[in-house]
Amino acid sequence: CTTDSDLIASGLPAVCREIPFIRNSTDPVVVYHSPRVWQHLGWSHATFVDFCLLLGKDEDNVRLGGVGKVGARILIDKYRSIEGILDAWKEHLSANSESKKRKAPTTKEEKWLVRIIDVPPNYSDYLSEVRQLLLDPPIFASTLDISVQ
């Protein structure tokens, strides 16, 4: 168990929050079971990872500019992956560039697509690397003590 909720994305089976002895509180421990979180959202593990990647990582701030928590949820629910979102975004940009009159967004998904203001350089390479780490995290045998006494 850990209090780092980012580990839900890496597939850690359980993440504990609100641990009383850490905060000197009498509140109950809250445990999130990762597969249940994904199931509740109607997503696969990979879809949840894409949702997290849309929000960006704290340490490097790589994300799609203009998309926050609400927009990320709406876009992932509709397009199921970052590639799906970017394909729809490019389609929307293309349709508007070919038209003499700019088409106003009509759906909530389109309203979020038009808010994408920045796609970082080498974003697809970044996605591949981070997805690999989150979907198939390395296990270092030297950190495990599985000896039987």
User: Could you tell me the pTM of the whole model?
Assistant: 0.82
Half-sphere exposure at residue 47, Cβ-oriented, CA atoms within 13 angstroms: 18
Both tokens of 87, joined, read 């394909």
Radius of gyration of the chain (CA): 19
pLDDT at 94: 87
Instruction: Give residue-wise pLDDT tens across range 81-107.
Output: 999 999 999 998 888 887 767 778 889
pLDDT at 97: 81
Using CA of residue 21, residue 22, residue 24, residue 27, what is the dihedral sign? negative
Q: How confident is the model at residue 39 (pLDDT cuts 50, 70, 90)?
A: very high
